[in-house]
């Protein structure tokens, strides 16, 4: 039996898979992916991610509004989110606020009114996380410093900076605030020098694994649709980069997720 792994970020409800969430999660579980964290992206999929987690023993979920979905979101969605989170505190499969954050890569989001709107949604959702003492799952794209600025102001209990692609200094700032950094498919491309250098050199207690499926396919799969069953091979790639046994990588990254997502940590002990 391979060491248990956790896919700390997978949009299992996405239509791109062309298969049911249960089929995809089963396939991954057979390869040792014991847990899959399924973040929400908008009000319209809050119920879907919760249902997936209720229906499959591998799955847990997060609730939040993704910066790329802020355009069609309104103020009322934040109220709905807060009310749903209050209810979900009784659901052991609910583990975090996410996916939230800032995206300054997409031109439409970087400038103009959507820049302010995404900042507003990010801040308001951080407050929800703080008020319920929940970790957050962060979308970070060309926005490290702006995300950090608000994290210093609105103190949450940490979480995961997913698909991390920043400098060593920014990585240190996130870990200093209780975050771990998510590494996945991007790390498997030999030209991704900075990500690979970070993945090889960061302290092992600040790294978690993820697929971000159906997105960010690893180099050997690109551009086909990514799936959580790819996680063992991504773990092997990290093991090779660090010159460490894959069993150690699995054990430590699993422990890291349990630490930053304590509600999942409790589930793991059942
Ligand atoms: Zn995502």
Computed from CA positions of residues 52, 263, 167, 240, in that sequence, does the dihedral angle turn out positive or negative?
A: negative
Question: Would you state the pLDDT for residue 270?
Answer: 81
CA of 211 to the centre of ligand 1 (A): 9
CB atoms within 10 A of CB 83: 10
CA of 65 to the centre of ligand 1 (A): 11
By three-state DSSP, how is residue 161 classified?
A: strand
CA of 20 to the centre of ligand 1 (A): 18
CA of 204 to the centre of ligand 1 (A): 23
CA of 249 to the centre of ligand 1 (A): 22
CA of 139 to the centre of ligand 1 (A): 7
Is the distance from CB of 183 to CB of 160 less than 8 angstroms? no
CA of 163 to the centre of ligand 1 (A): 8
Distances (CA, A) of 24 to 30, 57, 62, 105, 137: 10, 12, 19, 30, 22
DSSP secondary structure, 201-220, as one string: HS-GGGEEE---BTSS--TT
**Cα(169)–Cα(186) distance, rounded to whole angstroms?**
20
**Cα(80)–Cα(187) distance, rounded to whole angstroms?**
36
Cβ contacts of 239 within 8 Å, gap of 6 or more: 245, 246, 248, 249
Is the distance from CB of 187 to CB of 217 less than 8 angstroms? no
**Cα(78)–Cα(43) distance, rounded to whole angstroms?**
9
Structure pTM?
0.97
CA of 205 to the centre of ligand 1 (A): 22
Q: Report which DSSP code applies to 47.
A: H
Question: Would you state the pLDDT for residue 2?
Answer: 54
Output the CA angle 121-176-265, nearest 5 degrees. 75
Q: What mean pLDDT, rounded, does the chain reach? A: 96
CA of 98 to the centre of ligand 1 (A): 9
CA of 64 to the centre of ligand 1 (A): 11
CA of 14 to the centre of ligand 1 (A): 11
**Cα(103)–Cα(142) distance, rounded to whole angstroms?**
7
CA of 99 to the centre of ligand 1 (A): 6
**Cα(47)–Cα(40) distance, rounded to whole angstroms?**
9
Residue segments in the chain with a per-residue pLDDT below the cut of 50: 1
CA of 182 to the centre of ligand 1 (A): 11
**Cα(182)–Cα(194) distance, rounded to whole angstroms?**
14
CA of 108 to the centre of ligand 1 (A): 19
CA of 247 to the centre of ligand 1 (A): 26
Which two three-digit tokens encode residue 71? 């355009």
| Percentage of the residues of the chain whose pLDDT score is greater than 90 | 97
CA of 176 to the centre of ligand 1 (A): 23
Q: Report which DSSP code applies to 226.
A: P
CA of 212 to the centre of ligand 1 (A): 6
CA of 201 to the centre of ligand 1 (A): 24
């Amino acid at each position: 039996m391979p060491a248990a792994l956790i896919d700390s970020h997978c949009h299992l409800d996405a239509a791109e898979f062309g298969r049911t969430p249960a089929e995809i999660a089963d396939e991954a579980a057979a390869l040792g992916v014991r847990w899959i964290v399924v973040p929400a992206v908008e009000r319209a999929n809050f119920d879907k991610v919760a249902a997936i987690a209720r229906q499959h023993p591998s799955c847990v979920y997060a609730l939040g509004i993704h910066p790329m979905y802020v355009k069609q979101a309104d103020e009322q969605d934040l109220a709905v989110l807060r009310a749903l989170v209050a209810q979900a505190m009784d659901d052991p499969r609910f583990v975090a606020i996410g996916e939230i954050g800032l995206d300054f890569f997409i031109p439409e989001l970087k400038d103009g009114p959507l820049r302010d709107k995404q900042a507003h949604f990010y801040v308001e959702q951080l407050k929800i996380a703080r008020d319920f003492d929940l970790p957050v799952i962060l979308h970070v794209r060309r926005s490290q410093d702006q995300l950090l600025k608000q994290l210093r102001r609105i103190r949450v209990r940490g979480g995961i900076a997913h698909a991390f692609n920043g400098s060593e200094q920014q990585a240190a700032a996130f870990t200093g605030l209780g975050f771990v950094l998510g590494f996945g498919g991007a790390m498997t491309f030999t030209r991704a020098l900075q990500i690979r250098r970070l993945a090889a050199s960061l302290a092992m207690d600040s790294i978690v694994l993820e697929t971000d499926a159906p997105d960010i396919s690893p180099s050997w799969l690109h551009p086909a649709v990514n799936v959580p069953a790819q996680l063992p091979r991504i773990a092997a790639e990290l093991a090779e980069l660090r010159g460490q046994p894959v069993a150690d990588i699995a054990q430590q990254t699993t422990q890291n997720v349990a630490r930053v997502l304590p509600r999942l940590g409790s589930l793991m002990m059942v």
